[in-house]
Amino acid sequence: MSDIISPHGSAALNPLFVADESENARLRAEAEGLRSVVVSSATAANAVMLGGGYFNPLTGYMSKADALGVGESMRTADGLFWPTPILNLVESADGIAPGDRIALRDPNVEGEPVLAVMDVEGVEEFSEAELAALTQQIYRTDDRGHPGVQAFNSQGRVALSGPIQVLNFSYFQTDFPDTFRTAVQIREAIAERGWRKVVAFQTRNPMHRAHEELCRMAMDRLGADGLVIHMLLGKLKPGDIPAPVRDAAIRKMVQLYFPPNSAIITGYGFDMLYAGPREAVLHAIFRQNMGATHLIVGRDHAGVGDYYGPFDAQTVFDEIPADALKIEIFRADHTAYSKKLDKVVMMCEAPDHTKEDFVLLSGTRVREMLSEGIAPPTEFSRPEVAQILMDYYRSQAG
């Protein structure tokens, strides 16, 4: 394990999930007698990420000072480099005080079971002005039409801070048993394979030819031992393809078109922030925590709409301190199939091409074709992948 990249902010990974079965059972029993708070989906997702070691070295939810420091300078109050606030925001503390021990209940699972036990260290309210400033710093916009801004501002203004003990992984482990993995488990899988140089690929969509070739390109150029395809399994915006369909499509692509044992297909339990540059930095931190040495950052990484420039999620890495992260970024341009060269290329590396020399389809056009039962051209999408997506769209229409 010693040769694997060290986690962010500590020598060893500190997952907050209580793995000891008897201790977990004891805490669950204790939680039944504690004051309960049904948390927001975002807070629940933060607990899952803390539980899995992805948010190492955090020990729980941030205080107001931590969150404001992160917004202002990407540093918590004690100087830890961190790009986005990891908060437990509620509408009202309703009598909860520092020193209380409370049970956090899961809004995303039937019956709202206990997700974590929390020792409350702080109960602090953000002013409207503070929350507005934080929104602007993290999302670079205050437009409520931005799905991340809307989600962030709809949770309440009271922050409950303090350490947590995580008792389960919400619906992710049960709904995605073959795909959901903690940072601990991915580190173990990397160690078992003896990989040293590991590329991570973030996706919230099915992977088409351009994504597939981009992964291959990164592995070749970096001389990587392996690839971890790491898909988001949490809440997305309306219209995005659901995780089980993406999962099936990606598995089919890897099975047919990647060498055996060159790629691990995994997923993580988090709600998409759509925070562009700041979220790209968060992605880098938790990929370092899971053992990846490189993260592919493409055009409009973690963005939505026109809120960010196409390469803002890459240039943000030029603006952070050089020693902030150990993981490195593989910067990718838009990739597309070149009719001239008969292969997928990065468009910036084909200066003699015009737009007509590439097979280019907008996401909207691809969705239209799939929903009409028309397979996109093979230069754009593998036929076996297109079939899975067409079946999904057909089931929606029916």
CATH number of 21-173: 3.10.400.10
Domain residue ranges in the chain: 21-173, 178-397
Closest CA to 87 of 112, 65, 113: 65
Handedness of CA 81, 78, 167, 152 (dihedral sign): negative
pLDDT at site 24: 98
Closest CA to 169 of 17, 295, 67: 17
Residues 15/56, Cβ–Cβ less than 8 Å: yes
Residues 375/390, Cβ–Cβ less than 8 Å: yes
Residue with tokens 């990647």: 258
Sheet holding 263-268: strands in order across?
A: 263-268, 226-232, 198-203, 294-297, 328-331
Per-position pLDDT tens, the chain of length 398: 448 999 999 999 999 999 999 999 999 999 999 999 999 999 999 999 999 999 999 999 999 999 999 999 999 999 999 999 999 999 999 899 999 999 999 999 999 999 999 999 999 999 999 999 999 999 999 999 999 999 999 999 999 999 999 999 999 999 999 999 999 999 999 999 999 999 999 998 899 999 999 999 999 999 999 999 999 998 777 778 888 899 999 999 999 999 999 999 999 999 999 999 999 999 999 999 999 999 999 988 999 999 999 999 999 999 999 999 999 999 999 899 999 999 999 999 999 999 999 998 887 888 889 999 999 999 999 999 999 999 999 998 86
Rounded to whole angstroms, the Cα distance separating 292 from 300 reads: 21
DSSP per-residue string spanning 285-338: HHHHHTT-SEEEE-TTTT--TTSS-TTHHHHHHHHS-TTS-SSEEEE---EEEE
Closest CA to 299 of 313, 286, 320, 287: 313
pLDDT at site 9: 97
Closest CA to 28 of 106, 139, 114: 114
The domain 178-397 is placed in CATH, from the list 3.40.50.920, 3.40.50.10490, 3.40.50.620, 3.40.640.10, at 3.40.50.620
CB atoms within 10 A of CB 53: 24
Residues recognised as catalytic = 204-205
Rounded to whole angstroms, the Cα distance separating 56 from 103 reads: 22
Residues 330, 335, 337, 338, Cα dihedral to 10°: -90
